[in-house]
Homo-oligomer: A and B are copies of this chain.
Amino acid sequence: MQHPTFNFVPGPSALYFTAEHHIQEAVRKGIPSISHRSEEFKNIYRHTDSQLRNLLNLPDNYQILFAASATEIWERIAQNLVLQKSGHVVNGAFSEKCLQTAKDYQLQTEEVRAAWGEVQLAQPGSFSDDVEVIHFTLNETSTGAQYPVENIYEIRKAYPEALISVDMVSAAPVLPIDFEQIDCAYFSVQKCFGLPAGLGVWLINDRSLDKFRKNKESGRLTGSYRRLDRIADSARKFQTQETPNVLNIYLLGKIAEDMNQRGIQAIRNDGIYKSVLLYETFRKHPALKPLVLEEKFRSGTVAYAQCEGGAKRFVEALAQKGLCIGTGYGKLKEDCFRIANFPTHSRELIEMLCDELLKIE
């Protein structure tokens, strides 16, 4: 298969532009073979932890834990943090899967549901008072719908006993959030961070840990090597319970460092510029319009368009020029396309893509 000049598929993403260098250097330095019980590994974890805290502006009462994937973290939240009931704001495939995971774990679930492409805001009163965790998806990758953080903070005030959990899989670190106003968040490394898949990052605060401890006392089964006290204890010593993906933990630290050097504000400003340009291009094109009709809910990291006459001609025409965009997700595949707007996609690249888009009839 001939490979595209550039990859705009929203995950796995094109590698961040410094990733290849770091991979080669990692192999040269023997990183894949170091012991995860060594000082060298602890230093790597420490470095990654410190760079991420800086990049995300993470409060001190948070811990950074590693898992295999965000998918796994849905499960670990259900196992560790919920005894009976979780609430879910559902408006696409990934928020749906998080809900399904809770059901698989035989939890009672409550929903605020919207059609794909829409955002239905949660309200005080949307959930029962005894809901234990309320799940939000900051950026629903399957529909290009971004959830307003102000509403998340409002719901947290309305449910002071509950934990607020935010799926930041295709949001972190680009879409800002105030971690002091939530309790738990997670992302994967193969989206905005532009790394090979194989690492999930779980951010939890002390309220989450306290809830876990209460759950544990109830005798409820809370898992094994991903039991929250076990991973949190290990993390405090910059260790993991199992042999982790050492290479990816190292690479994440390097990419986070590169992003810190660029400056998160600069990255976010670029993101806004590119996002505006992409939606403006959809507006100008007679056959395109954003899937998300309300402008304030349009994703700043995944630009999603509906295509009159179907998406195929756009995807194919761009592919012929070496520009590989994503098709719509699932049921949206025929009629929509998706363009990743991640830190690795430069302004110039997005400008070129937009120019090419406008040439297609």
Interface residues of A (CB under 8 A from B): 1, 3, 7, 9, 11-15, 19-20, 23-24, 27, 29-36, 40, 67-72, 74-75, 78, 100-101, 104-106, 188, 190, 195-199, 221, 223-227, 241-248
A-B contact pairs, 6 of them (CB 8 A): A13-B33, A31-B196, A68-B68, A71-B243, A75-B224, A198-B244
Identify A105's interface contact among B15, B30, B199, B224, CB under 8 A.
B224
In the docked arrangement, what's the CA distance between A33 and B13, Å? Answer: 5
13 more contacts with CB within 8 A, not counting A3-B30, A9-B33, A11-B35, are: A1-B40, A7-B33, A13-B33, A15-B27, A69-B242, A69-B244, A71-B225, A71-B241, A71-B243, A104-B223, A197-B243, A198-B199, A245-B245
In contact, A243 and B69 (Cβ under 8 angstroms) = yes
Q: Are B11 and A29 in contact (CB under 8 A)?
A: no
The answer to whether A33 and B14 touch across the interface, beta carbons within 8 angstroms, is yes
Q: Which residues of B contact A188 (CB under 8 A)?
A: 243
- Which of A101, A247, A248 is packed against the most chain B CB atoms within 10 Å? A247
A122 to B39, CA, bound (A): 39
Tell me the number of copies of this protein. Answer: 2
Bound CA span A74–B223, Å: 11
**A226 — which chain B residues lie within 8 A by C-beta?**
75
Chain B residue numbers with a CB within 8 Å of A224 are 74-75, 78, 100-101, 104-105
In the complex, how many angstroms separate the beta carbon of A233 from the nearest chain B beta carbon?
A: 15
Minimum CB–CB distance for A21 against chain B, Å? 10
- In the bound assembly, the distance between CA atoms of A36 and B198 in angstroms comes to 12
A247 CB contacts on chain B under 8 angstroms: 196-198
Q: How far is the CA of A245 from the CA of B9 in the complex (A)?
A: 17
Residue of B nearest to A12 (CB): B33
Question: Could you tell me the distance in whole angstroms from the C-beta of A240 to the nearest C-beta in chain B?
Answer: 10
Find out whether the CB atom of A12 lies under 8 angstroms from the CB atom of B34: yes
Closest to A191 in B: B243
A227: nearest chain-B partner, CB-CB: B104
